[in-house]
């Protein structure tokens, strides 16, 4: 069994990384595959198991006082910079504003304010803790002071400084998108990657093409072999030069998992060729290479890049007798990628297989050569720009047409069904191709459909920081109440901007298996309630936008109407007494006011047998006009400010659960201590400490326990 060594190391890394299901499954497979193994294989497995135990270290480290931080990379976004590097053997990331010093290849004295890595706060969002573990980062912090920067000693420091000079030169000389592709395709550097390009490559499953990967290494080997062919030197010398060149290239680009896998396999093949040994079983070779990578870097077990590059290569090797033609190969690869990506990616393009073929050819045989020539001969850059303009146009058409399908969140049983169904379809494809493809399509459709059908009515309070965003699901209806909002400095040109509508609400809607919303209710015009509207409209179709009939800020009202017209959403005005849904009753506002908060739409809902009262930012003075209602869940008015959620309202409604939608360490001090005292004896859940909060089946719970 060629995977015998990998199963052994997976058992160890499953334990050290806390992924015990991996330990159990790989343990069973190890026992089943160990029979008949050669002595050298058993000795090699023992060696790699010992190495894996030696390198296991998953603990988070807290820096103290001032430390010497060796910088490996720097990414800037507006006035903010993130520095990646190490303190001795500990890898970490630091952030700071307006840092004029601290470049890759330098070691600086840094005073750090430690910050913990954040867990997953919203379904469909970013899990910083898992990302840090998969990248082997053990600390994170805010820079309080940085000085005394000096060149880092050794070859690594020299290489990083050389690379940084080249990158700065590229960024000064070329248009932004040209610089992005030259840096990504030639140096494996993604610091110029902007939000729109990142989204386009992720949703189409093409992100692996925008970084150095196996195809790049293969292209480099072919180019070197072609270049060395007419040179009158020995074959062994040419092989050694190629081996040294691709290893140096991997070192230059940072040895990301795809690069490390490709370079390691290529190096082994080249070394064996020096001794006249040919590899008859590529699966066995890949198994030993993956085993070595995992033994020295156990954190790769949870690294998505490692899972995809090794898993995809294994899969394509195993099924190489089944697929025929490029399109079928691409579809096979997409199906395997779906097994890995379904839980971590909210959507996937429906034309991804076709785009993979087109873009793989374009990047490997057109863009990489053009990037290299443009870097060496800048006058060629306009030709490169025309190719990029065409690619950007394709992505623009794709994104405007929203040619993607949502990937519904799957519980563990559904994940098992998906894996089993896909693998059965592959087995059938080998015998009866058409039936096998039908089984694969039906498996994906049934898993997604059954997951959606089995959902119960629920109300979800998303964590959008200091703001409100509430998703309501009742029967066939799904809507959102407020969409959060974050103020951005108009003078700060950022490459990526946090937008709660695009970055939190839309991914969650997708993970609920939806492409559109029946309504979005905007309780009032404060930015922390409406700021994410355009970001949401870009990615999710909204049938109706509900607004208060009363208005104070006419300028913001006109902006909302303009956005609705641009994105094809109709407008509906609400006032006290309206029932836009049979289970929803608008209880305020009932008259004009001079204050925007006093115009907050307040509503009473009955969703899944649980009764809710949501009052927006309604002040205490206006709460007195609300009817007497018995509710199960009450969302604190104005994020827990002492000007809302008065004792009289709490006594009249008598909620069992109280929800506070607040941002961590917000500048307003919400929820105020006076408000918290009023809530004594009631169950309080807060988005700043509990993350996203889901209420269903007679209870409320936060995603962070």
Q: pLDDT tens digits for 270-326?
A: 999 888 888 888 999 999 999 999 999 999 999 998 998 898 888 888 888 787 778
Q: What is the average pLDDT across 115-139?
A: 93
SS3 94: strand
- The residues with which 151 forms a beta bridge, in sequence order, are 106
- Return the pLDDT at 675: 95
Among 108-117, 550-559, 582-591, the range scoring the smallest mean pLDDT is: 550-559
- Return the pLDDT at 1: 65
Q: What is the average pLDDT across 330-341?
A: 85
- Return the pLDDT at 59: 67
State the pLDDT confidence band at 583, using cuts at 50, 70 and 90. Answer: very high
**pLDDT more than 70, % of the chain:** 99
Give the whole-angstrom CA distance, residue 185 versus residue 111.
Answer: 35
Q: Are 513 and 452 in contact (CB under 8 A)?
A: yes
Q: What is the average pLDDT across 231-238?
A: 90
Using N-to-C axis directions, what is the helix angle for 257-274 and 214-228, rounded to 10°? 40
Residue 27, Cβ density class (10 Å: 0-12 exposed, 13-18 middle, ≥19 buried): middle
Residue 113 tokens read as 């304010």
Q: Give the rounded distance of the alpha carbon of 295 from its chain centre.
A: 26
Query: By C-alpha distance, which of 308, 512, 509 is closest to 410?
Result: 512
Q: Left, alpha or beta for 704 (phi > 0: left; psi -120 to 50: alpha)?
A: beta
Maximum mean pLDDT: which of 210-214, 362-366, 590-594: 362-366
Helices (H), 619-672: 620-623, 647-653
pLDDT tens digit string along 484-541?
998 887 778 888 889 999 999 999 999 999 999 999 999 999 999 999 999 999 999 9
Query: Which has more confidence, 437 or 521?
Result: 521
Query: Which has more confidence, 57 or 105?
Result: 105
Q: Give the rounded distance of the alpha carbon of 159 from its chain centre.
A: 30
Residue 264 tokens read as 């390691």
Instruction: Give percent helix, percent strand, percent coil of the chain, each to the nearest 5.
Output: 50, 20, 30
Instruction: Give yes or no for residue 556 having a pLDDT over 70.
Output: yes
Give the whole-angstrom CA distance, residue 41 versus residue 372.
Answer: 42
Q: What is the average pLDDT across 682-701?
A: 96
Instruction: Give yes or no for residue 543 having a pLDDT over 80.
Output: yes
Residue 562 tokens read as 């303009």
pLDDT tens digit string along 116-125?
999 999 999 9
DSSP string, 495-562: SS---HIIIIIHHHHHHTT-SEEEEEE--S--HHHHTTHHHHHHHSEEEEEEEES--S-HHHHHHHHH
Instruction: Give yes or no for residue 57 having a pLDDT over 70.
Output: no
State the pLDDT confidence band at 58, using cuts at 50, 70 and 90. Answer: low
The Cα-based distances of 293 to 49, 265, 312, 353, 480 in angstroms read: 12, 11, 16, 29, 45
Q: Are 344 and 311 in contact (CB under 8 A)?
A: no
Number of Cβ within 10 Å of residue 587's Cβ equals 20
Instruction: Give yes or no for residue 478 having a pLDDT over 80.
Output: yes
State the pLDDT confidence band at 130, using cuts at 50, 70 and 90. Answer: very high
Instruction: Give yes or no for residue 269 having a pLDDT over 80.
Output: yes
- Return the pLDDT at 487: 85
**How many residues appear in the chain?**
705
State the pLDDT confidence band at 412, using cuts at 50, 70 and 90. Answer: confident
Instruction: Give yes or no for residue 427 having a pLDDT over 90.
Output: no
- Return the pLDDT at 452: 87
């Amino acid at each position: 069994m060629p995977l015998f060594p990998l199963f052994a190391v997976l058992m160890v890394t499953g334990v050290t990384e806390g992924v015990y299901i991996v330990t159990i499954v790989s343990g069973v497979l190890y026992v089943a595959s160990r029979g008949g193994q050669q002595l050298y294989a058993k000795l090699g497995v023992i060696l790699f198991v010992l190495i894996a135990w030696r390198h296991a270290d998953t603990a988070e480290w807290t820096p103290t006082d001032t430390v010497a931080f060796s910088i490996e990379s720097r990414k800037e976004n507006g006035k903010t910079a993130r520095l990646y590097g190490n303190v001795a053997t500990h890898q970490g990331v630091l952030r700071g504003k307006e840092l004029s010093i601290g470049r890759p290849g330098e070691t600086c004295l840094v005073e750090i304010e430690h910050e913990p890595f954040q867990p997953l706060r919203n379904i469909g969002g970013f899990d910083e803790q898992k990302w840090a573990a998969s990248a082997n980062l053990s600390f994170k912090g805010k820079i309080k002071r940085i000085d005394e920067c000096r060149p880092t000693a050794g070859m690594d420091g020299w290489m990083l400084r050389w690379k940084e000079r080249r990158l700065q030169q590229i960024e000064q000389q070329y248009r932004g998108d040209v610089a992005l592709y030259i840096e990504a395709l030639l140096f494996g550097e993604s610091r110029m990657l902007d939000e729109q390009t990142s989204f386009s490559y992720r949703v189409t499953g093409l992100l692996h093409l925008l970084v150095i990967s196996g195809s790049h290494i293969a292209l480099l080997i072919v180019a070197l072999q072609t270049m060395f062919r007419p040179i009158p030197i020995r074959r062994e010398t040419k092989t050694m030069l190629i081996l040294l060149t691709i290893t140096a290239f991997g070192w230059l680009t940072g040895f990301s998992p795809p690069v490390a896998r490709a370079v390691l396999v290529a190096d082994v093949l080249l070394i064996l060729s020096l001794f006249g040994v040919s590899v008859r079983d590529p699966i066995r070779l890949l198994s030993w290479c993956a085993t070595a990578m995992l033994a020295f870097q156990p954190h790769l077990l949870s690294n998505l890049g490692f899972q995809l590059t090794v898993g995809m290569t294994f899969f394509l090797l195993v099924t190489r007798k089944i697929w025929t033609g490029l399109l079928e190969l691409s579809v096979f690869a997409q199906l395997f990628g779906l097994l890995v990506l379904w839980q971590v990616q909210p959507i996937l393009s429906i034309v991804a297989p076709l785009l993979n073929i087109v873009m793989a050819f374009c990047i490997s045989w057109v863009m990489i050569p053009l990037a290299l020539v443009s870097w060496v001969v800048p006058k060629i850059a306009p030709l490169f720009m025309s190719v990029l303009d065409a690619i950007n146009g394709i992505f623009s058409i794709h994104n405007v047409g929203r040619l993607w399908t949502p990937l519904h969140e799957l519980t563990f049983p559904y994940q098992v069904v998906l894996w089993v169904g896909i693998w059965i379809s592959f087995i059938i494809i080998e015998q009866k191709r058409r039936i096998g493809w039908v089984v694969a399509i039906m498996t994906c459709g049934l898993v997604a459909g059954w997951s959606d059908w089995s959902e119960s009515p629920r109300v979800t309070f998303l964590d959008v920081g200091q703001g409100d965003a509430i998703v309501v699901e009742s029967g066939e209806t799904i809507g959102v109440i407020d969409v959060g909002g974050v103020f951005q400095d108009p003078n700060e040109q950022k490459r990526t901007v946090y937008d709660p509508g695009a970055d939190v609400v839309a991914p969650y809607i997708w993970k609920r298996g939806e492409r559109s919303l029946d309504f979005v209710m905007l309780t009032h015009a404060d930015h922390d309630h409406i700021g994410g509207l355009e970001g949401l409209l870009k990615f999710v179709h909204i049938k109706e936008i509900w607004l208060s009939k009363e208005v104070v800020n006419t300028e913001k009202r006109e902006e909302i109407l303009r956005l609705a017209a641009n994105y094809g959403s109709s407008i509906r005005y609400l006032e006290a007494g309206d029932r836009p849904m049979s289970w929803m009753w608008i209880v305020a506002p009932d008259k004009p006011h001079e204050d925007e908060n006093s115009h907050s739409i307040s509503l009473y809902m009955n969703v899944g047998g649980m009764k809710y009262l949501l009052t927006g930012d309604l002040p205490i003075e206006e709460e007195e006009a609300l009817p007497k209602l018995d509710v199960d869940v009450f969302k604190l008015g104005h994020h827990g400010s002492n000007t809302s959620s008065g004792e009289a309202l709490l006594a009249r409604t008598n909620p069992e659960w109280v929800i506070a939608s607040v941002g961590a360490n917000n500048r307003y001090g919400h929820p105020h201590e006076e408000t918290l005292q009023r809530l004594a004896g009631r169950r309080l859940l807060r988005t700043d400490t509990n993350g996203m909060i889901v209420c269903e089946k007679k209870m409320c719970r936060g995603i962070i326990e």
